[in-house]
Amino acid sequence: MAKVLVVDDQAANRDLVVTLLKYAGHEPLEAADGHVALAQVREQRPALVICDILMPTMDGYEFVRQLRAEPDIAHTDVVFYTATFMEREARTLALSCGVSTVLLKPTEPEELLRVIEQRLAGAAPVAPVADAQQFDREHLRLLTDKLAFKVSELEAANQRLSALTELNLQLASEHDPHVLLDNVCRGAHGLLGARYAVLAVRSRDGDARGHLSSWGLAPEQVQALQPLAVDAGLCGQVLADGQARRFVQADAARLPAELPPAANGLIAPIMSLQRTYGWVLLADKLGAPAFTDDDQHLLCIYAAQAGRIYENGSLYQAIKQAAELLQTEVDERKRIARDLSVANESLEQRVLQRTAELHAVIDGLESFNRSVSHDLRGPLGGIAGAARMAQQFVANQEPERAIKFLQVIATQAETTGQLVEALLALARASDATLHREPVDMNALTAEVLATLQPAAAPPPVVVEPLAAIHADRKLVRQVLANLIGNALKFSARATPPQVRVGMASAVQGGPLFYVRDNGVGFDAHNAQQLFKPFHRLHDTRFEGSGVGLSIVKRICERHGGTVWADSAPGQGATFYFSFGDDPPA
């Protein structure tokens, strides 16, 4: 049995390697970055280090260079296990700092075990360290190239986002539903690069086609579309189940016969929260063999936004027509006309407010996807690798070994489930309808504390007198539970732990409350990062999904209030929050 140190900033990645080491009979050690790993090597003297390259605080290259600079531990063998888009450069730089083996993620568990046993058997001596100046130059060049690659990706994303923003502004300012749909068809065609685009929606009563738009087709092809039914073929299935679909040439036979031939395509539903109105179809991706997952995701967001704005536009048109009819009675019924004018202005504000909320939802969805694609990749990769190992052991009639990997699968699945539950909670905080009512903040705080603290435990929470507010009681309760729960969690190691709930002021904008603790605190410059989904300033010693403060922010802002934090490392933290001053309905 040998000591093996696993260095990776992602806990899910470490868990899979640690499980493999335990299965092989070795003693695993763990570290989340190069700085901690260096201290572990000095203290524990492992026979082998399996290290990621790109990590916060100290990356893998700098870790190895400092390791080789200390005579007592310079002989320690290191294997790089990382995900990189520059394989050749990474291997070259690894050799220059004394690492001869580089494994690229994902690696099959069997191959990873084989390399571990090979290195522990002393298959190759530790490579010599290259000239320090040359290493620094190569190290800097590799990191710079990686940064340039990321910058290129961001530039491409920004260009697409700029185009999408411009289209959104056009859609938000258009009240004519038919002009709106024409702009949606044209915008989707240009945004995602298709040979042609077709959009169809049902009439208001839902019995027939209400509007048809196309872009990129010849006049005779447009004419041939006139008999097209909204609910025909594959397009009708998208309309029925509200799910986007990509298709290839083999599926083209299921398209409505009136559409021109297509080798590949993408169909997304145009829908609001209440109903599905129609669909938009893009055919033959330009510059690529087919549409991608990102294309599908972007078109779904764009089509969903179009559906909601279309719904608002239809409502606006109905209101406008009613206002024009009523205007004919202005001379005879001036008082009624004035009342209707006020009603129209109020409705106009609601339309604008709803459009602004839709923009905020779409921006949040883009952020979610980036976070989810990062946070779910680790657990899902672990599940896939462990499942293959378990399948192999079952086939070899080794149930005890299979059970170990089934336990890994269960743990990773539970992690994935927690992330999904966190996303659902964030979505509920964004979409729930506000039911404002008088809220006794003193009684509600006591109710929250009763659920957060055992009855027999001494109360480390001091509650000052709090003003009553007019808000959604369930959502305010969630804000208090998240903030007080965080304060208890991060102050648990203080001696003694102290948490205080109070009111800072009661000025225009409603009462300003706070939750203060004497816990670990954080750098105030990073305070805004706390309120972004899945952004965490502390390591995995403190449990949590990373969305609790995002939920708090959304609830406060939906009430017309705000939330912010003040802190310093080791000096506790204070979270201020309010719920606006809306009068009772």
Write out pLDDT tens, residues 71-122.
Answer: 999 889 988 888 765 556 667 777 777 788 888 888 888 999 999 999 888 7
Rounded distance, CA 460 to CA 445, Å?
14
What is the domain count for the chain?
4
CATH code where residue 234 lies: 3.30.450.40
pLDDT(261) > 60: yes
| 3-class secondary structure, 550 | helix
**What pLDDT is stored for residue 506 in this prediction?**
61
> What's the pLDDT at 172?
62
Mean pLDDT of 23-32: 93
- Using 50, 70 and 90 to split pLDDT, how confident is the model at 217? very high
Q: Is the pLDDT of residue 178 over 50?
A: yes
- Residue 3, φ and ψ in degrees, nearest 5: -80, 130
How does DSSP assign 364-379, residue by residue?
Answer: HHHHHHHHHHHHTHHH
Span of 122-136, 211-225, 360-374, 496-510 with lowest mean pLDDT? 122-136
Q: Is residue 158 part of a domain?
A: no
Mean pLDDT check: name the lowest of 252-256, 271-275, 432-436, 445-449. Answer: 432-436
Among 273-277, 281-285, 305-309, 446-450, top mean pLDDT goes to: 281-285
- Confidence grade of residue 426 (pLDDT, cut at 50, 70, 90): low
| Residue 151 forms part of a structural domain | no
Q: Phi and psi dihedrals of 80, rounded to 5?
A: -85, 130
Whether residue 321 sits in one domain with residue 181:
yes
Token couple for 440: 């006794």
Mean pLDDT, to the nearest integer, of 528-547? 62
Which residue in 93, 57, 63, 56 sits closest to 78, CA to CA? 63
Q: Give the percent of the chain with pLDDT over 70.
A: 73
Mean pLDDT for 385-397 is 82
d(Cα 272, Cα 202) in Å, to the nearest integer?
Answer: 13
448-454 mean pLDDT: 81
Whether the pLDDT of residue 585 is over 50: the answer is no
Q: Are residues 472 and 393 in the same domain?
A: no
Q: Decide if 223 is inside a domain.
A: yes
pLDDT bucket at 280, cuts 50 / 70 / 90: very high
Q: Give first-to-last CA distance, the chain, whole Å.
A: 71
Sign of the four-CA dihedral 59, 60, 64, 65: negative
Is there a domain that residue 12 lies in? yes
Length of the chain: 585
d(CA 219, CA 225): 10
Residue in 407, 410, 405 with CA at minimum distance from that of residue 23 = 405
Claim to verify: residue 291 and residue 189 sit in the same structural domain: yes
Measured at the CA of 583, the angle between CA 581 and CA 585, to 5 degrees, comes to 140
In a domain, 169, yes or no: no
For the chain, the average pLDDT equals 79
The model carries a pTM of 0.35
Nearest 5°: the CA angle 274, 277, 279 is 130
Measure the CA–CA gap between 388 and 396, rounded to whole angstroms.
Answer: 12
- What one-character DSSP code corresponds to residue 527? G
d(CA 390, CA 413): 15
Residue type, position 532, single letter: K
Q: Is there a domain that residue 494 lies in?
A: yes
* One domain, residues 216 and 329: yes
How far apart CA 395 and CA 399 sit, in angstroms, is: 9
Q: Is 152 exposed, middle or buried (0-12, 13-18, 19+ CB in 10 A)?
A: exposed
Greatest Cα-to-Cα distance within the chain, rounded to the nearest angstrom: 101
* Domain end position, chosen among 346, 368, 390: 368
The pLDDT, as a whole number, for residue 147 is 52
Position 157 in a domain: no
Residue 214: predicted pLDDT: 93
Is 510 in the same domain as 447? yes
Q: For position 83, which CATH number holds? A: 3.40.50.2300
- Residue 66 in any domain: the answer is yes
567 and 535 assigned to the same domain: yes
Q: Which residue has the higher pLDDT, 145 or 468?
A: 468
Residue 128's Cβ-count burial label (10 Å; 0-12, 13-18, 19+) is exposed
CA distance 446 to 570: 28
Q: Are residues 263 and 307 in the same domain?
A: yes
Residue type, 140: L
Sequence letter at residue 495: T
Tell me, yes or no, whether 458 and 496 share the same domain.
yes
φ, ψ (nearest 5 deg) of residue 470 = -120, 100
- Do 401 and 471 share a domain, yes or no? no
- For the ranges 89-103, 126-140, 328-342, the lowest mean pLDDT is seen at 126-140
The secondary structure of 392-460, three-state, reads HHHHCCCHHHHHHHHHHHHHHHHHHHHHHHHHHHHHHHHHCCCCEEEECHHHHHHHHHHHHCCCCCCCC
Tell me which of 342, 368, 394 is where a domain ends: 368
Q: Please tell me what DSSP assigns to residue 129.
A: P
d(CA 570, CA 354): 42
Is the pLDDT at 302 greater than 50, yes or no? Answer: yes
- Quick one: 29 and 88 in the same domain? yes
Which residue intervals of 209-333 are DSSP H helices? 219-224, 233-241, 293-327
Domain boundary residue among 385, 403, 431? 431
Q: Are residues 475 and 387 part of one domain?
A: no
- Regarding whether 267 and 382 lie in a shared domain, the answer is no
pLDDT, tens only, 37-65: 999 999 999 999 999 888 888 888 888 88
Structure tokens at 364: 């949040």
β pairing state of 499-507 and 461-463 = parallel
Range of the domain at 316: 174-368
Is 43 strand, coil or helix? helix
CB atoms within 10 A of CB 492: 13
pLDDT for the residue 584: 47
